[in-house]
Structure 1
Amino acid sequence: MLWSIAFDAIAGAMLATFSRGALVGIGALLVWGIVTRRIPLWVAGAGVVAALVVVALAFTLWKPLIDVALHQKGHVASTNTESRKSFWAAAVELAERRPPTGVGPGRFPVEAEPLLKNNPSPLAHPVTHNTYLEILAEEGVPALLLFLAYLAGAWLLLRKVGQRAKLDSDRDLRRLATALQASLIIAVVASFFLSEELTSPFWLLGGLAVVLARNSDEQRVLAPEAPGPSRGLAQAIPATPV
């Protein structure tokens, strides 16, 4: 019951934003969860039903607000699409000019302005609306490769934690690792439509992955045969002795 209420609230908030990037990220998460059997079909079905309930409420109780939002979104949707294409093309051109170093951190708005073509919505400080292209344009190819390696490393650490938790029959720790993997999937996919390289989710998820993996290793070294091991967060993040 609590899960359903929380899901409905989150789904309603996401739909209210009309964020296409967020919806694509959630879609990628659902595909991954179903393919890897982390999300049972009945849970996916329950989620679909809950989402339909939210949509039904949105177009009945909150119809006036939704109509206004849809009208505004429809008015700017095509403009946003053309703007982003222009930003992406400018980012690629800047990256081609200086592949090793890029144009410099925070320099995209200045360097890209003369290159923006067919941009229907001029902005004072434009961003690429694509994390990977922005890193490529501002910091160059090596920085983008390092960023991708960081994301891959965080994913592999979380997968290792999940596999060890499965062997130890630790459901809580496995669920925690899965939740962090799910968050990472949404962040990675949504970043194709947003410039998020300096926001906290990427770096927080990587830090949590390192902490979980390190403490999981320490628990195995210190007490490989200890009866009744701690579970979940108690195992992953042990208490500090007083």
Structure 2
Amino acid sequence: MHRLLLPIDALVTLFVLTAVWLGVSSSYDPALSYPVQLGVIVSGGVYLAVAHGLVTWRIAYVFGRLLLLASTAAAAVFILQFAYQDYVEVPAIIERIGSLTTLLPNLNLAWQHPNAEAAFMIGTIPLGVVLIVTSRRWLWRSLWIVCTLVCLYALLLTFSRGAMVGLGATLCIAGLVLSKKLIVRVGAVALLIGGIAAVALTSAGSAWVLSRWDLYRNSLYVAGDYVLTGIGLGDTFPLVYSRYGLLIQVPQLTYPHNLLLSVWMGQGLPGLVIFLLLIITFYLFVRRVLRSQPRRLFHAGWLGVTAILIHGLFDSRQYIEVLWLMGHLFALIGLTAACGRLALWQPEEDVPKVFRRYFPNRLVAATAIAAVIAVILFNQELLAAWHTNQGALAETHAELNPTLRAADREAGFRQAQSLYQQALAINPVWPNANRRMGNLYVKAEDFAQAVPLLEQAYRAEPANIATIKGLALAYMWNGQLEGAAEGFNLLPDPARMAEELLTWGYWRTNEQDQPLLGAYAYETSQLMLPGNVSIPVWQAAADAYRAAGELERARQWYERILAEAPDNTAARQALAELDDA
């Protein structure tokens, strides 16, 4: 092990340890987490092997060439099988171009996600550029030109906007950092500003940014419930996000599309802090090495990492295709570390002084002091967050673990309720505990107790979908239908919510034998859409009220039907039966 890289080595090791510690223990189903945990461990090993195994520049260049060839092979497979993958989100022109270059018969390969392909390509394109520039023989240079063009074409076919932003931003950074010419630096800044304007001002770009913003905001609310431990690695996000972030039963998204959020939710706050410290230390190391005028392969490494990290702000599949995407990221970190070591290391140099030149000692010390002060000043908030975190884990495990018996689920819900109560005893206005406790009461059909808790949560987080929808549901099931309709209309897609209420109405009435709650759902759906005429829904509401013994309300709905459709036989007959009763 080379002492020069000790700070980065230590942080990579700590990052892996957070995956070992929290990656499975926080998961509602450890079987979902073990494969990804293994992938993180392997990725840490890849870093160590690359950073310390590339002992000469010649070996480093051989490794770089092999990495580019592997990336080109993956790109070629993606290109040659593109038409068979049936990508639905790419524009028609990209689909037509991709069909023209689908030159092989269908090999029935596993579906290749375009964002995963983009994440792999974007990290090695800087490597291809460097090999083109540094190769002396035309044969090798021609090969690297072909490889780079193949990777760029594959990136185009992915139509990954996040990857394109990442590559463009990396190009601007390279111009600013590596060139001393004013015109190049001005051009890089102009390109960066133009790219931001293109994304922000075009309708397609702004729609993409807004959709990402909604996802990140909702994911942050969910992550706040598990702020210290996360939810565990693997495919834990889809159900957790749907059940507790959107309050729907079926998965909507498979991952949070942001690398920092993925780290936080997979490996908890310790993993996120260590990852951020690793990135800061990495770039301080890069800055230190840049002063020594290293070989260009070093630039390929850190620019590749930069492209992946910028792409990771908008999309991140490192925790999905973990073995090759996370491994690829750590391989490039290792390549950068190895090249930096080769550029810096002098046997006679005092190594501890080198450490101090790039390890952020002051930042770490200031962060530690700030953490101690925060614990002292905000100890009640931290304790409330801890109990809420533990309650959320207990509730998630009780609800989502597929192997639990009914008695174990009930015990888990009781434990979650107790922990939420402890959080509220410490801080009665803590929004996360109020929301989780309120929504837990809604699931337990204790609607009267749910309402004040969710009202308190709404005052603190009025933009949280889980709070808005949870409060509206509590209002509805509690018979406060006007407030429920008003709340549901605050959701991003009220029309879709109104359709969901029809499903609730049918389920409550016909599956659960709760006709009064079913009637509430039907009526609320109509209150959301004033002026809407839907005779079948009105009929369902009237019949449900009648079955629940609410005869006057049933009569009002039957009369409303006849006012709109005087020849409606079912409503007329029902009214006659009510009159005879």
For residue 283 of structure 2, the aligned residue among 152, 155, 158 is 155
Matches within 5 A, 1:5-20: 7-20=148-161
How far does the alpha carbon of each residue in 1:156-175 deviate from its partner, in whole angstroms, 9 at most, with x for none?
223323322x2xxxxxx431
Counterparts in 2 of 1:37 and 1:111: CA distance versus 1, 3 Å = same
For residue 200 of structure 1, the aligned residue among 327, 330, 346 is 327
Gaps of 5+ in 1: 46-73, 167-172, 224-242
For residue 221 of structure 2, the aligned residue among 93, 98, 112 is 93
The reply to whether residue 190 of structure 1 matches residue 311 of structure 2 is yes
Shift of 1:125: 6.6
Q: Which whole-Å CA distance do the structure 2 matches of 1:217 and 1:178 have between them? A: 14
Name the Cα RMSD after superposition: 3.6
Matched AA of 1:214: R
Percent identity, aligned pairs only? 25
Q: Which whole-Å CA distance do the structure 2 matches of 1:216 and 1:29 have between them? A: 22
Shift of 1:7: 4.8
TM-score, normalized by length of structure 2?
0.27
Shift of 1:100: 1.6
The reply to whether residue 132 of structure 1 matches residue 265 of structure 2 is no
Q: Which whole-Å CA distance do the structure 1 matches of 2:173 and 2:145 have between them? A: 21
How far does the alpha carbon of each residue in 1:39-67 deviate from its partner, in whole angstroms, 9 at most, with x for none?
9768xx9xxxxxxxxxxxxxxxxxxxxxx
Shift of 1:92: 0.7
Shift of 1:29: 1.0
Matched AA of 2:296: R
Gaps of 5+ in 2: 1-140, 188-203, 350-581
Q: Which whole-Å CA distance do the structure 2 matches of 1:11 and 1:211 have between them? A: 26
Higher helix proportion:
2
Q: Which has the higher contact order (CA 8 A, sep 6+)?
A: 1
How far does the alpha carbon of each residue in 1:87-133 deviate from its partner, in whole angstroms, 9 at most, with x for none?
423421122112221222233223212135499xx757711111111
Partner of 1:34: 175
Q: Which whole-Å CA distance do the structure 2 matches of 1:128 and 1:185 have between them? A: 20
Q: Which whole-Å CA distance do the structure 1 matches of 2:226 and 2:145 have between them? A: 50
Moved more, 125-134 or 180-189: 125-134
Q: Which whole-Å CA distance do the structure 2 matches of 1:156 and 1:174 have between them? A: 18
How far does the alpha carbon of each residue in 1:179-238 deviate from its partner, in whole angstroms, 9 at most, with x for none?
1121011011000122225422321122223323334444x1259xxxxxxxxxxxxxxx
Matched AA of 1:115: Y
Counterparts in 2 of 1:5 and 1:209: CA distance versus 1, 3 Å = closer
For residue 23 of structure 1, the aligned residue among 140, 153, 164 is 164
Moved more, 183-192 or 87-96: 87-96
Partner of 1:112: 241
Report SS of the residue matched to 2:232.
Answer: coil
Q: Which whole-Å CA distance do the structure 2 matches of 1:118 and 1:27 have between them? A: 37
Q: Which whole-Å CA distance do the structure 2 matches of 1:118 and 1:12 have between them? A: 40
Q: Is the 8 A contact 1:91 1:108 kept in 2?
A: no
The reply to whether residue 214 of structure 1 matches residue 333 of structure 2 is no
Partner of 1:181: 302
Matched AA of 1:156: L
Q: Is the 8 A contact 2:215 2:256 kept in 1?
A: yes
Moved more, 17-26 or 103-112: 103-112
Q: Is the 8 A contact 2:222 2:245 kept in 1?
A: no
In our comparison, the structure showing a higher alpha carbon Rg is 2
Q: Which whole-Å CA distance do the structure 2 matches of 1:202 and 1:152 have between them? A: 15
Report SS of the residue matched to 1:140.
Answer: helix
Q: Matched residue pairs, number?
A: 181
Q: Which whole-Å CA distance do the structure 2 matches of 1:154 and 1:116 have between them? A: 34
Q: Which whole-Å CA distance do the structure 1 matches of 2:149 and 2:233 have between them? A: 39
